[in-house]
Amino acid sequence: MRVLHTADWHLGHSLAGFSRAYEHGRFLDWLGDRVEETRPDALVIAGDIFDHQNPAAEAQAAFYRFLAGIGRRRPGLTVVVVAGNHDGAQRLQAPAEILRALDVHVVGHVRRDADGRLSAAHMLVPVRRGAEMLGLCAAVPFLRPADLLSAGTAGEDPWLASMRAVYDQAHDLARARLAADCPGVPVLATGHLYAAGCLPSANSERRVFVGGQEHVPAEVLLGRFDYVALGHLHRAQAVGGQEGVRYAGSPLPLATDEAGYRHQVVLADLAAGQPPRLTVLPVPRSVAVVRLPGSGAAEPLDAVLDRLRRLDPFDGPAEQQPFLAVKVRIDRPEPLLRQRIDQALEGRNHRLVVLQTEQAAADGDLGAAGAVPTALTQLRAEQVFRRLYADRYAGRDPDPALLAAFHQLEEAARHGEEDGEAGAAPSSGTGADGAADGATQGAAARPADLLSGVGV
């Protein structure tokens, strides 16, 4: 069985307000060509199809246009789509019945039978060539608290035990199905999670806590399936040193610090009980990402301005203009900094999406020794919270439980205006934590109570 594995499209994404629709369109055209050229039996999209739980009409149109086109270009292709943490699970799954007629199988959330076990009919997707069964896919989406049943033995984290139980049951269901129908064909699984020991992207991935846990132990995924197609982390990488358990990574750079990544999709040839044969297909970059200085280390303003003036002008449509990230070291206030940067860029036709300044840390300043960002907009929410806490509590760091509560509130605030999803875990209280979409619930105490206890 041949599988084409991709993930983390983030349709509808923008970078500093600039739409990525052109780049996504080029990627989807390229992916359609690769499907036609490599002739996989299954296309697996392992979550975060959209950048928002309520995607714009343009993003949804791009997705469904791709599915319709790929069905015409590759008749008989099985497409498996699972929801990621950015996707609205119910919204993604709403047209599943119609899409199934096109051999597109969408799994937004876990379903269980009356006995509490996973629904094989909902989760298991057969991959066929005509009447021949080639393999089976256990389609596991991003697991929200409502998808997990508290379980485990004494001393074992109940949420991790429940997550392990999902993959155990998915494996058992798949093996039972094959024993009855077609033994000797490969089984693959999907997942959308943060496997411990893997490398995240610092500036484009949202930290997600389920039951107070962010990382899933790699052993939950290892040794069960012939291939595990993962999403969530934007770097392409293997898990636990096992090439058959891997992230495809995102097809586009979703932040400027990903400029040097080799964005890709993965072609996996699978045989039961054998290591997969993998072929990496690098995704062409349709819009350049430029970082000045290229080393990533800040340089004095005059040196950076000189670099900007020497940039080759871009002569092309606005939607193809390079994205530009600039990092400057300053030793005094520069109230006209942006104006000076814009003047140096005049006629270069680059889109400035990041302007980061650094200055020598003053005595008593809170932050890393040597240099600290000078603008609040350059700090992530967690950095602001850590600095506030350190300022109030003699430089100490917040403990992990408090950080988990903060991230729960941050997630609730981010999704506060999103439509509520059926099947979300019920809240034990009202307020900010009750507004979460389920991805961050499960802390031992209400986050607002924890944070108010430290004056936040």
CATH classification of the domain holding 18: 3.60.21.10
Maximal C-alpha separation, the chain: 74
Q: In terms of domains, do 77 and 87 share one?
A: yes
Q: What is the pLDDT of residues 64-109, one digit of tens each?
A: 999 999 999 999 999 999 999 999 999 999 999 999 989 999 999 9
Alpha-carbon span 385 to 302, nearest angstrom: 33
Q: In terms of domains, do 319 and 277 share one?
A: no
Q: In terms of domains, do 303 and 266 share one?
A: no
Alpha-carbon span 112 to 414, nearest angstrom: 29
Q: In terms of domains, do 174 and 190 share one?
A: yes
Is pLDDT above 70 for 333? yes
Is pLDDT above 70 for 371? no
Q: In terms of domains, do 211 and 313 share one?
A: no
Q: Which of 282, 309, 332 is the last residue of a domain?
A: 282
Domain limits for position 130: 2-282
End-to-end CA distance of the chain, in Å?
A: 54
Q: In terms of domains, do 312 and 277 share one?
A: no
Q: In terms of domains, do 372 and 449 share one?
A: no
Q: In terms of domains, do 306 and 169 share one?
A: no
Q: In terms of domains, do 278 and 345 share one?
A: no
Is pLDDT above 70 for 450? no
Q: Write the CB contacts of 22 (distance below 8 Å, at least 6 apart in sequence).
A: 286, 287, 319, 320
Q: Which of 341, 357, 378 is the last residue of a domain?
A: 378
Cβ–Cβ contacts within 10 Å for residue 155, how many? Answer: 5
Q: What is the pLDDT of residues 181-226, one digit of tens each?
A: 788 899 999 999 998 888 887 766 666 655 556 678 888 888 889 9
Q: How many domains, the chain?
A: 3
Mean pLDDT confidence for 358-363: 58
Report the DSSP beta bridge partners of residue 280.
266
Q: Which of 378, 412, 445 is the last residue of a domain?
A: 378
Q: Which helix (H) or strand (E) holds 227?
A: strand 227-231
Q: In terms of domains, do 126 and 250 share one?
A: yes
Q: In terms of domains, do 277 and 316 share one?
A: no
